[in-house]
Amino acid sequence: MNAPSLEALVDLYPWKPSLALFRALEWRGVSCYYPLLASPVLDLGCGDGQINRLVLGQWESVGVDVDPAPLSKAKQLIRRVVRADARRLPFRDGSCGAFFANCAVEHLPELSLCLAEAARLLRRGGVFIATVPSGHWKSLYCWNRLFSSLGMPRLGRRIVDAHDRRMAHYNLLGPEEWAMALKKAGLRPVAFDPYLGPRGARFTTFMESVWALPFPVPGFFRPSGTFYFLAGVLRHAGGERFWKRVFLRWVRPLYEEPIGPDGVAVGLVVVARKEA
């Protein structure tokens, strides 16, 4: 099974090019480790199941999320879904061949408990794969860079901190910190692969900050509300295909942006195994 293409992700998120770019890069990174995956795969933070369908479709999987709203949609795409807390997962020891978490574990205040659960549930030789924002997230954030260059670093940090609070980012870690946390849980670190370089980081953090304003705005006048309204108009007018082409031209250079030898990037694919 190949990783979903950039085109497939733009099809899934036609009006959110930054999310399509982020997801496409995540799956390109995750696909390198497909040979390590084995059923059943526990998909932590499965949401509405769309990503599971694209990325984990060839494996038997169990979707887990603490939020009941998206799980009602996930039931249509994943054979088995369970509402559960990542700190206390209702499965027996050694029952999973792989533990997968897409942009989920950075939102957990008690990361150590989640990693301990992953180690408990994985059978020997099982793989843990997580996609997360990296320790470079704040330094690469567009507003942080802009206001620092203007001599106002405190203002940039305040904006970034406000966005992080809204996004509930608790674990923005580098490879060394991840290695320590994984080893403490009983997992052997395998790889920490960076994705989404500085140019792509500026684009995605700008777009995501617009979608997650840190101050209240009436619904329609929020960028997301206005954007969805215009998207609906364009969709009915037959403009969706045109905008997909525009977005692909827009994000493809960022998708192909190489990561430098210093490994500075806004995202990280974290891979570990339970010792055989």
Hey, what amino acid is at 115? Answer: L
Q: How confident is the model at residue 36 (pLDDT cuts 50, 70, 90)?
A: very high
| Per-residue pLDDT tens digits for 45-74 | 999 998 898 889 889 999 999 999 999 899
The pLDDT of residue 238 is 60
* 215, pLDDT greater than 50: no
**Mean pLDDT across the stretch 7-35?**
88
In a domain, 206, yes or no: no
In a domain, 37, yes or no: yes
The pLDDT of residue 114 is 97
**Mean pLDDT across the stretch 211-227?**
49
* 221, pLDDT greater than 50: no
In a domain, 17, yes or no: yes
Give the pair of three-digit tokens for residue 189: 């670190």
In a domain, 208, yes or no: no
Q: How many helices (H) and strands (E) does the chain have?
A: 12, 7
The pLDDT of residue 275 is 86
In a domain, 27, yes or no: yes
* 190, pLDDT greater than 50: yes
Q: Is 23 helix (H, G, I), strand (E, B) or coil?
A: helix
The pLDDT of residue 214 is 47
241-245, long-range: CB < 8 A, 24+ apart: 243/14, 243/15, 244/10, 244/11, 244/14
In a domain, 47, yes or no: yes
In a domain, 177, yes or no: yes
Mean residue pLDDT across the chain: 87
* 218, pLDDT greater than 70: no
Give the pair of three-digit tokens for residue 12: 């899934």
Range of the domain at 248: 6-136+169-199+216-274
The pLDDT of residue 220 is 43
Give, for 62, the enclosing helix (H) or strand (E). strand 61-65
156-159, long-range: CB < 8 A, 24+ apart: 159/209, 159/214
In a domain, 142, yes or no: no
Domain CATH number, residue 70: 3.40.50.150
Domain count, the chain: 1
Which range (22-36, 122-136, 201-215, 227-241) has the least confidence?
227-241
Q: How confident is the model at residue 95 (pLDDT cuts 50, 70, 90)?
A: very high
